[in-house]
Amino acid sequence: MKKLIYLTTNPHKVEEANEFFSKKYGFNIEIVNPDFEIVEIQAETCGEVAAFSAKYAADKLGVAVLKSDSGLYIDALGGLPGPYNHYFDKQIGVEKFLELFKNEKNRKARLEHCFAYCEPNKDPIVFTGGGTGTIAYEARGTKGRWHDKFYIPDGETKTLSELREIDYEKEASYWGDAKDKFTKWFKEKYKDELK
């Protein structure tokens, strides 16, 4: 049976991959924490970052891999942090970020969620999704990444973190359809090997 190799060091992405690819679709998935640093380029979109990382890893490992990336694009910050989400979290964290943002009236934001699949010595294929929402005034919830605690999807009053605590499937829907696009493509491409 075809094995899906998903590269990540992020525990939240491990949970996401197990819930979606393994439990929901029954893929034979191997989540790999590589023993080398996967290069992440500076780019304007998460799709570019995921594509570069997937190609780098596939060529280095000699196997097809799946790599994901996500970003939060805030209108009032000219689109930052975007694909630099991790660095914002590491450098200033949730509380300091919200303190800096407390007097901002324009709280519109957009999530981008991308998956890049790449076979060795080939170009990566990128699947992109996302959604829109607003930035809360205070952190709420205990699950997920840093921005999950203050990002409220359009049509909701709860943060992604609070939604994940109540209903994983519903919370996952606010990340867009990149996972679904990839799954449909992967199932079609490898239909004979997934039986």
Amino acid letter, 187: K
The pLDDT, as a whole number, for residue 25 is: 82
CB atoms within 10 A of CB 120: 14
Report whether 83 contacts 68 (CB < 8 A).
Answer: no
How do residues 115-134 score in pLDDT, each as one tens digit?
999 999 999 999 999 999 99
Residues identified as active-site: 69
pTM of the model: 0.86
E-state strands within the chain: 3-7, 28-32, 65-74, 81-82, 108-118, 125-135, 151-153
How do residues 24-45 score in pLDDT, each as one tens digit?
888 888 888 777 777 677 788 8
The pLDDT, as a whole number, for residue 11 is: 75
Which residue ranges form the domains of the chain, and what is each CATH number? Answer: 3-189 (3.90.950.10)
